[in-house]
Amino acid sequence: MKSREHVVTNGRAVFYACMWEDFRQAAMDKGWALGLHGSLASDMDIMAMPWTEIAEPVWEMICALKKCFDEPEKIDITETEMHNNRRVFTLSIWADFYIDLNIIDQN
């Protein structure tokens, strides 16, 4: 049986959960939909896909996500090519908090 002592708060997961609605709305405003996957234990893994016929380019959507933070200019982005035409854009928020944004390139 579990009791209150077994509840452990992961600060990262709490932070990422608090940011989720801001990210989702920022992406939707650019015509993109987001989906979460993973545990949020170390990073926030997001799948992004264009959702409307007039979805903005990927970099505009990423810039909208960065603007969810007080100092977006301090967020570094790296891009990694993966298998199956997937690209991962890693947004380094601070220290070891980061977002991995996964996009399938249809081009």
DSSP-derived letter for residue 14 is: H
pTM of the model: 0.86
Give the pLDDT mean for 6-21: 84
Strands 86-94 and 32-37: unpaired
Q: What is the pLDDT of residues 64-81, one digit of tens each?
A: 999 999 999 999 999 999
Structural fold of domain 4-104: Beta Polymerase; domain 2 (3.30.460)
13 C-beta neighbours (distance < 10 Å), count: 14
Query: Cα separation of 106 and 104, whole Å?
Result: 6
Tell me the two tokens of residue 2.
């579990």
Q: What is the largest CA-CA distance in the chain?
A: 52
Residue boundaries of the structural domains of the chain: 4-104
Query: Cα separation of 8 and 64, whole Å?
Result: 32
